[in-house]
Amino acid sequence: MERPLTRNIHPNRPPLTAKEYEMAGGYMAVKQALLKMTPSEVVELIKESNLKGRGGAGFNTGMKWSFVPMGETAPTTKYIVANADEMEPGTFKDRLLLEGNPHQLIEGMIVAAYAIQATQGYVFLRFAYKEAAIRITKAIIEAYAEGYLGDHILGTGFSLHLHLHTGVGRYMCGEETALLNALEGKRATPRAKPPFPQVSGLFGKPTIVNNVETLCNIPHIINNGADWFKSLSYSEDGGTKLYGVSGNVKTPGCWELPMGVSMRELIEEHAGGMKDGYKFRGVLPGGASTDFLIEQHLDIKMDFKSVSMAGSRLGTGTMIVLDDKTCPVGFVHNLEQFFARESCGWCTPCREGLPWVEKILWSIEQGKGASNDIELLFEHARLLGPGNTFCALAPGAVEPLQSALKYFREDFEQHIHQRKCPYD
């Protein structure tokens, strides 16, 4: 089984230096793209590969790039940005790539920048990823020294200057337009669309924001082709995927596997199944802002279409498992407390609604719930859903809530009727 993203990552050794990365085949994609391909050929190859964004949206990466204005009338200044903010609870896949092989990300950013003719790039990094910051900084310095960053890369007319920007630690910065505001030194609030960042992004110039895992796939597609990339997958979505599992399983972790591997294989084989004395009850398949799925869904493929048809989202592909000894109400309350705290406050439904949801859940968990609280939660889940808020934070926040009410309603009712948490 091929694992292009992680084959050069070893937990017991530091990441490859630029020289070692070159010896392992690194930066070959930069040479291939800059010396033998036009920018439009790079875009078409990525589009053909069916690489979908690994940050959660699942949009075709090449298609996204194709929206950037090109040609003589296009702005001369453009930006490429790696979204390394990774603050989704339960998600830790990008950290593996950032700490384990930073040159892979840099190479992907160089090729992506060439495809859209960007001259400036930023890695927007989560504040808590201290080790990643050290390793990325070192890798950027090495890439400059080897001539892969800077002016006239490989003797061509293409130049790229890359910078590391460490965020101050808000979940909101994971939303691409809020991230761009933060890069500009402004409050991290989302922007109205249109205009989209591909046309008017950072400092009003065309900008592409891609997830770390997305960008790390680029060099391998350039080197091996679209058909190879699609052959790695068990589904119509191309490539491999970094999947994670956390919760009361025997071996929580992160693995690179073919896109479309089943949820059952991930939990029972790679994560070792449930810990002794615990039973599986449900799972958030793609991080904290996705809907619960239950035992009847265990055999679905973990790809964008299959998970969506089951009533949830693939999201980041990092699962959080709920067991039979963990209170679903407390579980969801913990998540809603996080989302309420991380709301940027830009729109009223999110700013006022999420704290109210959190207070209702806290009251139920403490045995002080009222008989109409469940209906109030259903109403909030509807009012905070898609189309009712400025960005996707609140709709994502209520996904675990609305699905918990659907699958675990009896637990909410027991809390209210017994005037206590049955799991205490």
Q: Is the pLDDT of residue 64 over 90?
A: yes
Instruction: Give 56's pLDDT tier (boundaries 50, 70, 90).
Output: confident
Choose between 167 and 266: higher pLDDT: 266
Note whether 285 and 222 are same-domain residues: no
| Residue 145 domain flag | yes
Max CA separation in the chain (angstroms)? 74
Residue 274, phi then psi, degrees to nearest 5: -70, 150
| Residue 363 domain flag | yes
- If you average pLDDT over every residue of the chain, what do you get? 96
Note whether 32 and 180 are same-domain residues: yes
Domain range for 121: 18-231
Note whether 31 and 156 are same-domain residues: yes
Cα(406)–Cα(409) distance, rounded to whole angstroms? Answer: 6
213 with 164: CB under 8 angstroms? no
CATH number, position 269: 3.10.20.600
CATH number, position 164: 3.40.50.11540
Instruction: Give the rounded percent of residues in the chain with a pLDDT score beyond 70.
Output: 100
Cα(299)–Cα(269) distance, rounded to whole angstroms? Answer: 13
Note whether 278 and 336 are same-domain residues: no
Query: Among residues 231, 265, 295, which one ends one of the domains?
Result: 231
pLDDT at 107: 98
pLDDT (tens digit per residue) in 303-330: 999 999 999 999 999 999 999 999 999 9
Three-class DSSP category at 61: helix
331-365 burial, b at 16+ Cβ within 10 Å, e below that, comes to bbbbbbbbbbebbbebbebbbebbbebbebbbbbb
Average pLDDT, integer, range 150-169: 95
| Residue 8 domain flag | no
Note whether 135 and 70 are same-domain residues: yes
Instruction: Give 424's pLDDT tier (boundaries 50, 70, 90).
Output: confident
Note whether 106 and 198 are same-domain residues: yes
CATH number, position 333: 1.20.1440.230
Note whether 285 and 216 are same-domain residues: no
202 with 87: CB under 8 angstroms? no
Please name the helix (run of DSSP H) or strand (run of DSSP E) that holds residue 161, with its range, or none. strand 161-166
Q: What is the number of structural domains in the chain?
A: 3
| Residue 12 domain flag | no
pLDDT (tens digit per residue) in 70-129: 998 999 999 999 999 999 999 999 999 999 999 999 999 999 999 999 999 999 999 999
**Which residues face 60 on adjacent strands?**
52
Cα(71)–Cα(388) distance, rounded to whole angstroms? Answer: 38
| Residue 61 domain flag | yes
pTM of the full predicted structure? 0.96
Sheet of 240-246: strands edge to edge?
Answer: 253-258, 240-246, 318-323, 280-284
| Residue 1 domain flag | no
Note whether 293 and 389 are same-domain residues: no
Note whether 99 and 190 are same-domain residues: yes
Note whether 157 and 274 are same-domain residues: no
| Residue 13 domain flag | no
Note whether 350 and 263 are same-domain residues: no
Three-class DSSP category at 163: strand
The two tokens of residue 360 are 């209702």
Query: Among residues 197, 231, 265, which one ends one of the domains?
Result: 231
Q: Is the pLDDT of residue 169 over 90?
A: no
| Residue 301 domain flag | yes
Query: Among residues 284, 304, 323, which one ends one of the domains?
Result: 323
Instruction: Give 1's pLDDT tier (boundaries 50, 70, 90).
Output: confident
Cα(394)–Cα(378) distance, rounded to whole angstroms? Answer: 14
Average pLDDT, integer, range 41-63: 94
Note whether 385 and 297 are same-domain residues: no
